[in-house]
Protein backbone atom coordinates (compact mmCIF):
# COMPACT_ATOMS: atom_id res chain seq x y z
CA UNK A 1 0.00 0.00 0.00
CA UNK A 2 1.47 3.30 -1.06
CA UNK A 3 2.01 5.74 1.78
CA UNK A 4 2.20 9.46 1.57
CA UNK A 5 3.57 11.67 4.25
CA UNK A 6 2.00 15.01 4.86
CA UNK A 7 4.52 17.61 5.90
CA UNK A 8 3.49 20.89 7.33
CA UNK A 9 6.00 23.66 6.83
CA UNK A 10 4.51 26.61 8.61
CA UNK A 11 5.43 29.70 10.43
CA UNK A 12 3.35 29.43 13.56
CA UNK A 13 2.73 31.26 16.74
CA UNK A 14 4.43 34.58 16.53
CA UNK A 15 5.04 36.39 19.77
CA UNK A 16 6.35 39.80 19.05
CA UNK A 17 7.29 42.31 21.68
CA UNK A 18 7.05 45.55 19.78
CA UNK A 19 5.01 48.73 19.85
CA UNK A 20 3.37 50.61 17.05
CA UNK A 21 1.87 54.02 17.06
CA UNK A 22 -0.94 55.46 15.01
CA UNK A 23 1.22 58.19 13.57
CA UNK A 24 -0.30 60.84 11.34
CA UNK A 25 0.56 60.11 7.73
CA UNK A 26 0.76 63.68 6.60
CA UNK A 27 -2.90 64.55 6.58
CA UNK A 28 -4.36 62.00 4.16
CA UNK A 29 -6.47 60.35 6.87
CA UNK A 30 -4.69 56.97 6.89
CA UNK A 31 -3.26 55.71 10.17
CA UNK A 32 -1.31 52.61 11.06
CA UNK A 33 -3.19 49.63 12.43
CA UNK A 34 -2.87 49.20 16.20
CA UNK A 35 -1.23 45.79 16.52
CA UNK A 36 0.25 46.14 20.00
CA UNK A 37 -0.79 43.27 22.24
CA UNK A 38 -1.41 39.52 22.06
CA UNK A 39 -2.91 37.79 19.03
CA UNK A 40 -3.97 34.12 19.19
CA UNK A 41 -3.90 31.76 16.20
CA UNK A 42 -7.57 31.01 15.51
CA UNK A 43 -7.50 29.51 12.02
CA UNK A 44 -4.93 27.70 9.87
CA UNK A 45 -6.46 27.03 6.45
CA UNK A 46 -5.30 24.78 3.65
CA UNK A 47 -6.82 25.00 0.17
CA UNK A 48 -8.32 21.48 0.29
CA UNK A 49 -10.70 20.04 2.87
CA UNK A 50 -9.37 16.86 4.47
CA UNK A 51 -10.53 14.57 7.26
CA UNK A 52 -7.14 14.05 8.89
CA UNK A 53 -8.65 13.22 12.29
CA UNK A 54 -10.91 10.56 10.73
CA UNK A 55 -14.09 11.84 12.41
CA UNK A 56 -16.13 11.72 9.19
CA UNK A 57 -16.07 15.51 8.73
CA UNK A 58 -13.66 17.20 6.34
CA UNK A 59 -12.33 20.67 7.01
CA UNK A 60 -9.65 22.86 5.51
CA UNK A 61 -8.83 24.27 8.98
CA UNK A 62 -5.97 22.38 10.63
CA UNK A 63 -7.06 23.70 14.04
CA UNK A 64 -10.42 21.95 13.58
CA UNK A 65 -8.81 18.74 12.30
CA UNK A 66 -6.12 18.45 14.99
CA UNK A 67 -5.25 19.43 18.55
CA UNK A 68 -2.11 21.23 17.36
CA UNK A 69 -1.32 24.92 17.30
CA UNK A 70 -4.09 25.70 19.81
CA UNK A 71 -1.91 27.93 22.01
CA UNK A 72 0.21 29.63 19.35
CA UNK A 73 0.08 33.39 19.44
CA UNK A 74 1.65 36.70 18.42
CA UNK A 75 2.52 39.40 20.91
CA UNK A 76 3.46 42.73 19.37
CA UNK A 77 5.41 44.88 21.81
CA UNK A 78 7.70 47.95 21.74
CA UNK A 79 10.24 49.21 19.21
CA UNK A 80 9.31 46.91 16.31
CA UNK A 81 10.99 43.84 17.82
CA UNK A 82 9.57 40.67 19.24
CA UNK A 83 9.42 36.90 19.48
CA UNK A 84 7.55 33.98 17.92
CA UNK A 85 6.14 31.36 20.27
CA UNK A 86 5.07 28.05 18.79
CA UNK A 87 3.83 25.34 21.15
CA UNK A 88 3.36 22.35 18.86
CA UNK A 89 4.06 20.76 15.49
CA UNK A 90 1.71 18.62 13.40
CA UNK A 91 2.81 15.50 11.53
CA UNK A 92 0.29 13.71 9.32
CA UNK A 93 0.70 10.35 7.60
CA UNK A 94 -1.62 9.73 4.67
CA UNK A 95 -2.14 6.22 3.35
CA UNK A 96 -3.77 5.62 -0.03
CA UNK A 97 -6.93 3.51 0.27
CA UNK A 98 -6.54 0.26 -1.70
CA UNK A 99 -8.30 0.39 -5.06
CA UNK A 100 -8.40 4.20 -5.19
CA UNK A 101 -6.18 6.88 -6.63
CA UNK A 102 -7.27 9.84 -4.52
CA UNK A 103 -8.75 8.53 -1.26
CA UNK A 104 -6.66 8.48 1.89
CA UNK A 105 -6.82 7.48 5.53
CA UNK A 106 -4.78 9.60 7.90
CA UNK A 107 -2.95 9.26 11.17
CA UNK A 108 -1.84 12.39 12.99
CA UNK A 109 0.68 13.20 15.68
CA UNK A 110 0.87 16.50 17.48
CA UNK A 111 4.28 17.04 19.02
CA UNK A 112 4.33 19.43 21.94
CA UNK A 113 7.39 21.59 21.50
CA UNK A 114 7.74 25.17 22.67
CA UNK A 115 9.94 27.30 20.47
CA UNK A 116 10.60 31.00 20.80
CA UNK A 117 11.96 32.97 17.84
CA UNK A 118 13.13 36.58 17.61
CA UNK A 119 11.09 38.78 15.27
CA UNK A 120 10.83 42.33 13.99
CA UNK A 121 7.82 44.00 12.42
CA UNK A 122 6.70 47.15 10.67
CA UNK A 123 3.23 48.57 10.14
CA UNK A 124 2.12 50.63 7.17
CA UNK A 125 -1.61 51.35 7.21
CA UNK A 126 -3.26 47.94 7.65
CA UNK A 127 -0.26 46.03 6.28
CA UNK A 128 2.06 44.33 8.76
CA UNK A 129 5.42 42.93 7.66
CA UNK A 130 7.07 40.42 9.98
CA UNK A 131 10.66 39.19 9.64
CA UNK A 132 11.95 36.32 11.77
CA UNK A 133 15.51 35.70 12.96
CA UNK A 134 16.20 33.62 9.82
CA UNK A 135 15.05 36.54 7.65
CA UNK A 136 11.85 34.72 6.62
CA UNK A 137 9.31 37.43 5.81
CA UNK A 138 5.51 37.39 5.84
CA UNK A 139 3.26 40.26 4.90
CA UNK A 140 -0.26 40.30 6.31
CA UNK A 141 -3.29 42.48 6.71
CA UNK A 142 -5.03 43.69 9.86
CA UNK A 143 -8.80 44.07 9.63
CA UNK A 144 -10.50 44.95 12.90
CA UNK A 145 -9.36 42.39 15.46
CA UNK A 146 -7.97 39.87 12.93
CA UNK A 147 -4.57 39.57 11.31
CA UNK A 148 -4.21 37.35 8.21
CA UNK A 149 -1.27 36.25 6.11
CA UNK A 150 -0.59 33.53 3.53
CA UNK A 151 2.46 31.33 3.18
CA UNK A 152 2.52 30.20 -0.46
CA UNK A 153 3.05 26.44 -0.79
CA UNK A 154 3.41 26.22 2.98
CA UNK A 155 1.59 22.88 3.13
CA UNK A 156 3.05 19.86 1.33
CA UNK A 157 2.19 16.22 0.83
CA UNK A 158 5.17 14.09 -0.12
CA UNK A 159 5.39 10.41 -0.99
CA UNK A 160 7.63 7.80 0.63
CA UNK A 161 10.49 8.97 -1.60
CA UNK A 162 9.94 12.53 -0.33
CA UNK A 163 8.74 13.67 -3.76
CA UNK A 164 6.16 16.44 -3.49
CA UNK A 165 2.75 15.30 -4.72
CA UNK A 166 0.73 18.30 -3.53
CA UNK A 167 1.58 21.84 -2.49
CA UNK A 168 -0.97 24.27 -1.12
CA UNK A 169 -0.99 27.73 0.36
CA UNK A 170 -1.57 28.13 4.10
CA UNK A 171 -3.68 31.01 5.39
CA UNK A 172 -3.10 32.03 9.00
CA UNK A 173 -5.66 34.02 10.99
CA UNK A 174 -4.83 35.50 14.37
CA UNK A 175 -7.39 37.21 16.61
CA UNK A 176 -6.45 40.01 18.99
CA UNK A 177 -7.00 39.06 22.64
What is the CA 107 to chain-centroid distance, rounded? Answer: 21
Residue 120: predicted pLDDT: 93
**Prediction pTM value:** 0.79
Residue 139, C-beta contacts closer than 8 angstroms, at least 6 positions apart: 127, 128, 129, 130, 149
- List per-block mean pLDDT (blocks of 10 residues) for the chain, which spans 177 residues: 38 32 42 86 94 92 93 87 86 84 83 90 95 93 96 80 79 96
State the Cα–Cα distance between residues 74 and 93, nearest whole angstrom. Answer: 28
**What number of other Cβ atoms are within 10 A of residue 17's Cβ?**
16
Whether 163 and 7 have beta carbons less than 8 Å apart is answered as no
Amino acid sequence: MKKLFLSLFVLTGLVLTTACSSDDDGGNGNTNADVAGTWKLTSLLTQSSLDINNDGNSSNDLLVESDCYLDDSLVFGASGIGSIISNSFLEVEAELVVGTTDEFTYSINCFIEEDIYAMTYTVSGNTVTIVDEDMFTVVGTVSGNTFNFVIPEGYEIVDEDFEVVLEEDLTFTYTKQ
